[in-house]
A and B are shown apart, each in its own frame.
Chain A
Amino acid sequence: MTPQDSGGVQRGSVARLARFFDRHPRLRLASFLSGPGAWLIVAYLGSLVLMLLTSLYGLNDFTGKVDRSRTTLENYRQVISTNGPYLAKIVRTIGIAAGVTVIDIVMALPLAFFIAKVLSPRWRRFGIVAVLMPLWASYIVKGYAWRTLLDPAGGVFRKTFHVSPGFGQTGLIMLLAYLWLPYMVLPIVAGLERLPDSLLAASADLGGRNIRTLRSIVLPLLVPAIAAGSIFTFSLSLGDYIAVGLVGGTTSVIGSVVNSNISTNLPFAAAMAAASIVVVGAYLTGARRLGAFDNL
């Protein structure tokens, strides 16, 4: 398509553009980053920073509005104070998010394996569709369905098995794990598809039995995919407050606090939001340390 001279050098504007970018790698980087960068920095980050800065202020007790006349660390003191309820809520929320992630990994692995490695390509499509379908039922309606399942007096579990986790932290973890499961399955399927069968054959040739191959070859190679999925399940659980209102009983999490405080006490809500950011940052750092993001 592009005319070439005898030396094999391409002409044409596309080729010229390509050469230009070759010679200016930083510009290439900039053009890659400018789209997402502009979006994130200006539209989202700017407004987020403004909001978080508010956490350094207090409230005017009379008008209930933010008092920008002086800065204070009081909000953060309240968040981390062991006398207050907030530290316990943060720890609880982290526990819930971690529990949901572990459950989702355990549930997703066999299903992802089945879809990616056992099913033929035609049936694989069915499999992926089957995993995606539940996502179209509204989150809220699914929450109400789980209420019907979990109701301690007359729900499905109670009526069928005579016992039910009821409305509380257990029920909440079950609902959240249910909601985010497809977000864990699909990345693992995508990751498994990249696993060359030749690698697995080589391992078998070298004498490795299935379990060994699984443990030493497959799972380590799946770590980036599992990490990608876990970032969703962990983060989505960390920030949620609607699910807790539906099946959490009297449980209260980070999201509940932010939700209830944001219109009356924006500075404090911003401080709690900052706490979420710290937790997520720690999670990502931990995942990186465990090699989740390494090139292999």
Chain B
Amino acid sequence: MTLTIRAKLLLATLSGLVLIVLYGPLLVIAVQSLNSSAAGAWPPTGLTFKWWTKAWGNGGWTDALRYSLLVALVATVVALALGTLASFAVYRFKFFGRNVISFLIVLPIALPGIVTGIALHSAFDRLDISLGFLTIVIGHATFCIVVVYNNVIARLRRSSPNIEEASADLGANPFQTFAHITFPALRTAMLAGAMLAFALSFDEVVVTTFTSGARETLPRWILDNVFRGKQVTVVNVVATAVVLLSIIPVWVVQRLTDGGSGGR
């Protein structure tokens, strides 16, 4: 399918529209963070930086942000390991309960977060595990596994087993085959899964309520402050700031892992 210039232009236009949809609301958030009307009247009654200054002096959200990042990082690593293992198991082997495993893995995402949250909370309570970092990570990893699993297994289903057989024929053991043949092919799928898992964990609020101790993640901080109207203006600032701050790390991660191996 050699794409004509016209086809490319069409795709570019459509993509542009979708990107406008994606970024429009973010622009609204950014404008609202400068809106001198505390209630967020539209169109803005005036522009001011006072909310940004106020946010600068507020320690609550920076603590929460750091905590969220740490939780998301650890949960993603765990989900990456377990999700990849699970997708290999389901893809490679025919065993009883194979379909059930796929189903079970999706469950944490499919059920309302509150169900997962309360189920885990009761379990922790029964096992006398006190709520804190570990329990949040367990909760997050539970629904992050599916993100990695789905992406990796979709890639596996598209991959050809022939190359791996060829590698084995040439004398490589399964670990070598994995390291040199399978993993590079899976890399972008794993990366996509990891990034989505990180985002899911970073933004999660419901399960976190029931699995966290007193230290708050950023979404919990935002929810609490928005709910009772105390820090609404700061919340818009925080959201804008986080998006802007994340450009660099996301770019770096993409670069380091060389996203885009392209079709051959």
Contact = CB atoms under 8 A, between A and B. Distances in A.
**Touch A–B, Cβ below 8 Å:** yes
A131 interface: yes
B29 A145 contact: yes
Given A235-B110, A277-B111, A154 B41 contact: yes
Given A118-B12, A187-B150, A44 B119 contact: yes
Nearest to B204: A139
Interface string A268-286: 0110010011011100100
Chain A interface secondary structure, helix, strand, loop or mixed? helix
Contacts of A102: none
25 contacts: A35-B82, A35-B86, A44-B108, A47-B119, A51-B119, A125-B254, A128-B259, A133-B247, A134-B23, A134-B26, A135-B199, A138-B242, A140-B223, A182-B199, A187-B150, A197-B264, A210-B4, A235-B106, A239-B111, A255-B114, A262-B118, A273-B112, A276-B115, A296-B157, A296-B158
B11 A141 contact: no
Contacts of B28: 145, 148-149, 156
Contact of B85 (A32, A159, A240): A32
Contacts of B18: 107-108, 110-111, 181
A194 B155 contact: yes
B219 A45 contact: no
Contact of B21 (A36, A115, A178, A295): A178
In the complex, which of the residues B25, B138, B146 has the most CB atoms of chain A within 10 Å of its own CB atom? B25
Nearest to A32: B89
B81 A35 contact: yes
A242 interface: yes
B255 to A, nearest CB: 7
Given A47-B120, A110-B15, A125-B255, 20 more contacts: A32-B92, A39-B141, A39-B142, A40-B142, A47-B119, A48-B115, A50-B122, A51-B118, A111-B18, A124-B259, A137-B239, A138-B238, A149-B25, A159-B43, A178-B25, A194-B159, A210-B4, A231-B146, A255-B114, A259-B114
B259 A29 contact: no
A273 B157 CA distance: 31
Chain B interface secondary structure, helix, strand, loop or mixed? helix
A183 to B, nearest CB: 6
Given A114-B12, A118-B11, A280 B106 contact: yes
Contacts of A293: 102, 157
B263 interface: yes
B1 A214 contact: yes
A142 B259 CA distance: 27
A138 B65 CA distance: 11
Nearest to B109: A235
Interface of B: 1-4, 7-8, 11-12, 14-15, 18-19, 21-26, 28-29, 32, 40-43, 81-83, 85-86, 88-89, 92-93, 95, 99, 101-116, 118-120, 122-123, 138, 141-142, 145-147, 150-151, 153-155, 157-159, 171, 173-175, 185, 188-189, 192, 195-196, 199, 202-203, 205-206, 218-219, 222-223, 226, 235-236, 238-240, 242-243, 246-247, 250-251, 254-255, 259-264
Given A204-B1, A276-B111, A14 B173 contact: yes
In the complex, which of the residues A44, A141, A255 has the most CB atoms of chain B within 10 Å of its own CB atom? A141
B155 A232 contact: no
Nearest to A113: B11
Given A144-B226, A273-B115, A44 B174 contact: no
A221 interface: yes
Given A44-B108, A221-B158, A284-B103, A187 B151 contact: yes
Contacts of B145: 36, 39-40
A225 interface: yes
B174 A18 contact: yes
A36 B1 contact: no
A176 interface: no
B67 to A, nearest CB: 14
B179 to A, nearest CB: 11
A29 B22 contact: no
Top 5 nearest A-B pairs by Cβ distance?
A: A47-B123, A110-B14, A18-B173, A135-B199, A141-B239
B262 to A, nearest CB: 6
A241 B263 contact: no
Contacts of B106: 231, 235, 280, 284
Contacts of B196: 135, 182-183, 186, 232
B123 A36 contact: no
A59 interface: no
Nearest to B145: A36
Contact of B246 (A133, A149, A198, A203): A133
